[in-house]
Amino acid sequence: MPLSIVRWTVISRKAHTWRLEFFALLLYNRRITMFSVMHRILTRTRLLNRGSSVPGLCKCKLTSSAEHTQISREVAKLLEIKASIGSDDLGHQKYTLKTPKGTRDYSPEQMALRMGALDKIIAVFKKHGAETIDTPVFELKEVLTGKYGEDSKLIYDLKDQGGEILSLRYDLTVPLARYLAMNKVSSIKRYHIAKVYRRDNPSITRGRYREFYQCDFDIAGTFDPMIPDAECVRVVVEILESLDIGQFVVKLNHRRLLDGIFEACGVSSGCFRTACSSIDKLDKSPWEEVRKEMIEEKGLSVEATDHIGEYVRLNGHSELIEKLLTDEKLSKSKAAQEGLDAIKLLLQYCDIFGLTDKISFDLSLARGLDYYTGVIFEAVLKCDGVVKNEESSVGSIAGGGRYDNLVGMFDSKNKQVPCVGVSIGVERIFSVIEAKLASKDMKVRTTEVEVFVASAQKNFLEHRMRICKDLWDADIKAEQSYKKNPKMLTQLQHCEDNGIPLAVVLGESEMQKGLVKLRDIATRQEIEVPLDQMVQAVKNKLKELNDHASLPNGQA
Amino acid sequence: MPLSIVRWTVISRKAHTWRLEFFALLLYNRRITMFSVMHRILTRTRLLNRGSSVPGLCKCKLTSSAEHTQISREVAKLLEIKASIGSDDLGHQKYTLKTPKGTRDYSPEQMALRMGALDKIIAVFKKHGAETIDTPVFELKEVLTGKYGEDSKLIYDLKDQGGEILSLRYDLTVPLARYLAMNKVSSIKRYHIAKVYRRDNPSITRGRYREFYQCDFDIAGTFDPMIPDAECVRVVVEILESLDIGQFVVKLNHRRLLDGIFEACGVSSGCFRTACSSIDKLDKSPWEEVRKEMIEEKGLSVEATDHIGEYVRLNGHSELIEKLLTDEKLSKSKAAQEGLDAIKLLLQYCDIFGLTDKISFDLSLARGLDYYTGVIFEAVLKCDGVVKNEESSVGSIAGGGRYDNLVGMFDSKNKQVPCVGVSIGVERIFSVIEAKLASKDMKVRTTEVEVFVASAQKNFLEHRMRICKDLWDADIKAEQSYKKNPKMLTQLQHCEDNGIPLAVVLGESEMQKGLVKLRDIATRQEIEVPLDQMVQAVKNKLKELNDHASLPNGQA
């Protein structure tokens, strides 16, 4: 291999990042293996300015014969991989028939259940006067850069096929902020239900996917304190009640109060966020573990940590506010006082909205995201639906808070649009509903067909088609077999399997008399009606069935 | 700049492709500028095996001092670009605030209009007993490979970040076929409304975007001839009628008949598809142009082309079938006879379904896609909504056909699942509705708020909140200002601007008497009602307004 490098100059920030990127390029595109080779040589010989945090120049020199041998070995290895890939077109290769890792198809049953739940959620959004918008599934990569901290590594990038560098959206909040800034919208109340993408380690058993629905409700605009915030809490409560998925509680807290607690306990302001991220783990870990992390990993003092511990284990209602407002340590912190005043007002508004028994002022609530600036909230389902003294939650099913500075990040003049919003954890809600149905061995209807048009004997296809036409013309949901001469039993079985309540049955003898039979699938009762009164008879019968027991729908 | 290369070995297929890729990398990520440098040097000095179509090794040597100067110049240029980009984190860089090329946000107005139209379309799908499924927005690249012919270049690929090679879906038909084969589903009637992605040259004026909605209805399964096919035509007609967007016609043809015509006119079977793609242009180009293309570009004989021309300019109904069935040339072609028999049956079923005046058997209809195997259809809007002798269509708004071999391409044993389906051109339909509304200067309501809770004087916030709670508890769509003391005029203006029909107005004097005012926004009439009868009074008033003139909704 006639290959050698005398000198090479690189501009690098993190050698480690390079390695990952170029290894990926190697696997993907056979034509650029040479860069991988070179790069691996550079990293292996440790000549790169590895881990340097300042972008700059570093020099490296590869000349020894040992390095030449190394190069040849690498090239040989790569050529071997290339050969094993084969030189045929990719299109003719065999591959496993599957959806991409961490994604799934939604079957008609799953979709019926999802659509049923989403309809209820949307009804609540509409009751509160929300509009809806939509944004592209991908954004310019820069729009997402610097918004998700460490999680940025989970962003899906699109291949550069010439043109702009794009990434799939990671949530619906950043696209909303971009939308508001770009279109100079200073006030909106909108919901947005769409899929988002995270290249996380999928866990099917825990219901964590790489493609999943988010369902957000946000109120943007400059308003008076806590009025839209309280409505967000009301929206969450209405949604969870309408879905009927068990007892829940909405925990409330305030970022300013948390800051104030840290301040009062002697934590330096530079450590507020990292302390916050430890507190955030209290819903999954006991205080002892969190305490250990704060002291050993975050470097907080034992004294400060134990003081914080006394606060963050508190929860209650307005009586707790009053107690904390007179707390000696907290009364010295402006941030704590502001947070407490804000929560006090929120609890007061929530009380007017009839939410007092659904909410809990909980000082352990911290929320992971950096961008929250005010109130934060999170709804959790209570275990087996029973209210317990000890909160034994089965997990967060909605969460949100106030973020007043995000939109400004997109505005060239840093013009702020204050926002508060909530994201409904619809994927978890879907799982809960699915589990509930499974436990009751209930079936979901996937269609809304009201009438099946069946024939008892052969050669009735065209008659069936005429009946279907009449039913469709009358806006009745109807179907028939696509077979010319289906078996009677098969047709009735189809009705039972699919929860179709009614069948119009055509038979030789009835047709001669100008009659058809109307069959109630559940009771198997049949009545004869004249062909020209069929539509009205079907309507009457459907109304009767509807009045007696409400028609099975997508959810029950 | 201490930079030089003595020798370098590259494995390349197409030098041209390299250049584009690495130029893009340069723009994207400052850390890999060195590869751009090197690559540009290689291509500029033309030492790469440019245009070579066989992958292999080629050697290049860069040693002259002229080349060293060139290298230094390139590096200087790149460093200049780098400096102009700035050395801050990417997150703080300035960039144009926009959506990716060829995509757009949907505003609340656009969404309200779209949702209104989609609701009508879905209602028709449900009337015909369709279920819905969903598939991931991306697929394994191999799933899409070899399905779209030349258009494959328009597929969006995801960046290889380790793991599988993925592409964004290009339509909903191939994912359906993959779903059926993967899950061994042999029969389904499903609709799917979702966005698809094509890296086409966007044309905003012509409404062509890179991200757009598709809306598909397909019937899969082994059934008797033309029964599901006829229902697809019925579904298209019902949808277009319910959307009320003007006069239209559904053109019908059959791939076997087209094959038969080509055969009868002496075209060799290897040229059927390419001849078909010429015929497909007849909706946009006059016969003379298509004729020229067939002779000059496709290499068909003048005689064959002119014979074909006689056929493909025909259209009509069943009388045309009868004429063609006795046509001397066509009677010798088995394919033509099969096609004619099939169309005859379809027209017969369409007649039963009451569609005769909406359809036209049109021999010029060819459809672009390769995978159709039987009936094909396409709905076109007629110019200014008037039926004309000369069909002057303003473009296709729905299209589809039978594709019996696509699912088999995904099955390891090549097991076929015959399918027929139609794709509703919802984006065009949205444009037509938007244009219609604009021409009538009509406004779209973006919310469904029924009652606005207003206050005439200051300090009524908590009272307003209580009223809102009562209305929400009664499932009435209500909202209020998020300001503590909003101006009366602003509140009423909000109602007028947003089409809110009713306001509950709180005033000092009424409150003292335990009364509130109910204001009809349109007529400005006010009535006083006792606070404890407010909810019922609102319900009555809403019903009254609803009965008098139907409430404005998302579409009117």
Asked whether the beta carbons of A279 and A255 are under 8 A apart, the reply is no
Residue whose token pair is 């699915």? A434
Question: Pick the residue with more confidence: A207 or A42?
Answer: A207
Residue A527 pLDDT level (bands cut at 50, 70, 90): very high
Contact B227 A159 (CB under 8 A): no
Nearest C-alpha in A relative to B485: A224
Distance of CA B227 to the CA centre of its chain: 27
Q: Is B268 exposed, middle or buried (0-12, 13-18, 19+ CB in 10 A)?
A: exposed
Contact A97 B461 (CB under 8 A): no
- In the beta sheet, which residues pair with residue A59? A9
Residue A386 pLDDT level (bands cut at 50, 70, 90): very low
Q: E strands of B295-434, at which residues?
A: 315-316, 359-362, 375-382, 393-403, 419-424
Contact A147 B91 (CB under 8 A): yes
Task: Give the mutation candidate from B138, B231, B356, B427 for the A interface (greatest A CB count, under 10 A).
Answer: B138
Residue A104 at interface with chain B, using a CB cutoff of 8 Å: yes
Q: Which two tokens stand for residue A13?
A: 């920030």
Taking each continuous run of H as one helix and of E as one strand, the counts in chain B are 18, 18
Residue A549 pLDDT: 66
Mean pLDDT, range A260-271, rounded to an integer: 90
Contacts of A183 in chain B (CB under 8 A): 105, 107
The pLDDT tens digits for B97-120 are 999 999 999 999 999 999 999 999
Contacts of B472 in chain A (CB under 8 A): 127-128, 234, 238
The pLDDT tens digits for B58-102 are 333 334 555 556 655 665 555 555 444 433 333 344 678 999 999
Q: Which of A160-174, B68-82, B367-381 has the highest mean pLDDT?
A: A160-174
Contacts of A145 in chain B (CB under 8 A): 90-91
- In the beta sheet, which residues pair with residue B515? B530
Report ipTM (2 d.p.): 0.80
What angle, rounded to 10 degrees, do the helices at A65-85 and A33-44 form?
Answer: 140
Q: Could you give the dihedral angle defined by the CA atoms of residues A77, A83, A89 and A93, in that order, rounded to the nearest 10 degrees?
A: -100
CA–CA gap between residue A2 and residue B5 (Å, rounded): 13
CA–CA gap between residue B482 and residue B85 (Å, rounded): 42
CA–CA gap between residue B167 and residue B181 (Å, rounded): 19
Lowest mean pLDDT among A78-82, A215-219, B191-195, B243-247: A78-82
Contact B111 A95 (CB under 8 A): no
CA–CA gap between residue B456 and residue B490 (Å, rounded): 11
The pLDDT tens digits for B151-166 are 889 999 999 998 899 9
Between the two ends of chain A, the Cα-to-Cα distance in Å is 70
Residue A228 at interface with chain B, using a CB cutoff of 8 Å: yes
Nearest C-alpha in B relative to A446: B131
Question: Pick the residue with more confidence: A418 or B146?
Answer: A418
Lowest mean pLDDT among A266-280, B12-26, B387-401, B519-533: B12-26
Residue B173, pLDDT above cutoff 50: yes
Residue B16 at interface with chain A, using a CB cutoff of 8 Å: no
Amino acid, single-letter form, for residue B362: D
Mean pLDDT, range A162-179, rounded to an integer: 95
Task: Please tell me which of the candidates A28, A136, A447 has its beta carbon nearest to residue B130.
Answer: A447
**Which of B433, B436, B435, B426 lies closest to B236, judged by CA?**
B426
Q: E strands of B173-313, at which residues?
A: 188-197, 211-220, 248-254
Residue A53 at interface with chain B, using a CB cutoff of 8 Å: no
Mean pLDDT, range A523-533, rounded to an integer: 96
Residue B78 pLDDT: 55
Within 8 A by CB and 6+ apart from A549, the residues are none
Contact B159 A157 (CB under 8 A): yes
Q: For chains A and B, count residue pairs whose Cβ atoms are closer than 8 Å.
A: 336
| Average pLDDT across chain B, whole number | 83
Residue A7 at interface with chain B, using a CB cutoff of 8 Å: yes
Q: Which two tokens stand for residue B375?
A: 């009936």
Asked whether the beta carbons of A504 and A518 are under 8 A apart, the reply is yes
**In angstroms, what separates the C-alpha of B466 from chain A's closest C-alpha?**
6
Residue B85 pLDDT: 45
B334 three-class SS: helix
Residue B396, pLDDT above cutoff 60: yes
CA–CA gap between residue A355 and residue A353 (Å, rounded): 6
Contact B134 A142 (CB under 8 A): no
Residue B258 pLDDT: 94
Three-class HEC string of A405-427: CCHHHHCCCCCCCCEEEEEECHH
Residue B551, pLDDT above cutoff 70: no
Nearest C-alpha in B relative to A412: B94
Residue A33 pLDDT: 35
Residue B238 at interface with chain A, using a CB cutoff of 8 Å: yes
Lowest mean pLDDT among A73-87, A251-265, B228-242, B504-518: A73-87
- The edge-to-edge listing of strands for the beta sheet with A375-382 is A131-132, A188-197, A211-220, A419-424, A393-403, A375-382, A248-254, A359-362, A315-316
Task: Give the mutation candidate from A23, A137, A500 for the B interface (greatest B CB count, under 10 A).
Answer: A137
Residue B550 pLDDT: 57
Nearest C-alpha in A relative to B499: A129
Count Cβ atoms below 10 Å from residue B270 Cβ, excluding itself.
7
Task: Please tell me which of the candidates B133, B139, B469 has its beta carbon nearest to residue A111.
Answer: B133
Mean pLDDT, range A329-358, rounded to an integer: 96
Q: Which two tokens stand for residue B144?
A: 């899409």
Residue A76 pLDDT: 56
Residue B370 pLDDT: 76
Contacts of B164 in chain A (CB under 8 A): 100-101
Residue A474 at interface with chain B, using a CB cutoff of 8 Å: no
Residue B140 at interface with chain A, using a CB cutoff of 8 Å: yes
Mean pLDDT, range A207-219, rounded to an integer: 93
| Touching B: A residues 394-423, CB under 8 Å | 410, 412
The Cα-based distances of B296 to A545, B264, B292, B302 in angstroms read 67, 21, 6, 9
Residue A545 pLDDT: 92
Residue B12 pLDDT: 35
B552: DSSP letter: P
∠ at Cα A58 (A52, A63), nearest 5°?
A: 125
Residue A382 at interface with chain B, using a CB cutoff of 8 Å: no
Task: Please tell me which of the candidates A197, A448, A473 has its beta carbon nearest to residue B126.
Answer: A448
Contacts of B20 in chain A (CB under 8 A): 162
Mean pLDDT, range B527-546, rounded to an integer: 96
Q: Which two tokens stand for residue A106?
A: 């939604």
Residue whose token pair is 């779903």? B179
Contacts of A219 in chain B (CB under 8 A): 482
B327 three-class SS: coil
Residue B148 at interface with chain A, using a CB cutoff of 8 Å: no
Asked whether the beta carbons of A241 and A279 are under 8 A apart, the reply is no
**Which of A306, A311, A305 lies closest to A330, judged by CA?**
A311
Contact A161 B166 (CB under 8 A): no
Contact B127 A472 (CB under 8 A): yes
Amino acid, single-letter form, for residue B487: K
Residue B31 pLDDT: 34
Q: Could you give the dihedral angle defined by the CA atoms of residues A89, A93, A96 and A97, in that order, rounded to the nearest 10 degrees?
A: 70
Residue B101 at interface with chain A, using a CB cutoff of 8 Å: yes
Q: E strands of B151-205, at which residues?
A: 166-168, 188-197
Contacts of B36 in chain A (CB under 8 A): none
Residue B19 pLDDT: 33
Find the helix or strand (DSSP H, E) in which A142 lies: helix A141-144
Contact B131 A161 (CB under 8 A): no
The Cα-based distances of B505 to A24, A544, B490, B510, B512 in angstroms read 64, 42, 13, 9, 14
Lowest mean pLDDT among A383-387, A443-447, A502-506, B461-465: A383-387
Residue B389, pLDDT above cutoff 70: no
Within 8 A by CB and 6+ apart from B446, the residues are A131, B108, B109, B111, B112, B498, B554
Asked whether the beta carbons of A475 and A448 are under 8 A apart, the reply is no
Q: B525-551 b/e with 16+ CB inside 10 Å = b?
A: eeeebebeebbebbbebbeebeeeeee
| Average pLDDT across chain A, whole number | 83
Within 8 A by CB and 6+ apart from A480, the residues are A452, A453, A454, A464, A465, A467, A468
Mean pLDDT, range B272-300, rounded to an integer: 88
Within 8 A by CB and 6+ apart from A177, the residues are A406, A407, A409, A410, A419
The pLDDT tens digits for B408-423 are 999 888 899 999 999 9
Q: Is B447 exposed, middle or buried (0-12, 13-18, 19+ CB in 10 A)?
A: buried
Q: Using a pLDDT cut of 70, give the percent of chain A over it.
A: 79
Within 8 A by CB and 6+ apart from A535, the residues are A470, A471, A474, A476
Residue B353 at interface with chain A, using a CB cutoff of 8 Å: yes
Residue A164 at interface with chain B, using a CB cutoff of 8 Å: yes
Residue A106 at interface with chain B, using a CB cutoff of 8 Å: yes
**In angstroms, what separates the C-alpha of B514 from chain A's closest C-alpha?**
18
**In angstroms, what separates the C-alpha of B388 from chain A's closest C-alpha?**
27
Give DSSP secondary structure letters for A50-99. TT-SS-EEEEEE--SHHHHHHHHHHHHHHHHHHHHH-SS-GGGS-----P
Residue B216, pLDDT above cutoff 80: yes
- In the beta sheet, which residues pair with residue B527? B518
Q: Which two tokens stand for residue B489?
A: 């005029």
Residue A127 at interface with chain B, using a CB cutoff of 8 Å: yes
**Which of A167, A218, A144, A148 lies closest to A188, judged by CA?**
A218
Residue B35, pLDDT above cutoff 50: no
Mean pLDDT, range B205-232, rounded to an integer: 94
The pLDDT tens digits for B121-142 are 999 999 999 999 999 999 999 9
Asked whether the beta carbons of B169 and B179 are under 8 A apart, the reply is no
Give DSSP secondary structure letters for A169-226. -S-SHHHHHHHHHHTT---EEEEEEEEEE-----BTTTTB-SEEEEEEEEEES--STT
**In angstroms, what separates the C-alpha of A314 from chain B's closest C-alpha?**
29
Find the helix or strand (DSSP H, E) in which B113 lies: helix B108-127
Within 8 A by CB and 6+ apart from A151, the residues are A170, A198
Between the two ends of chain B, the Cα-to-Cα distance in Å is 68
Contact A164 B92 (CB under 8 A): no
Find the helix or strand (DSSP H, E) in which A21 lies: helix A15-28
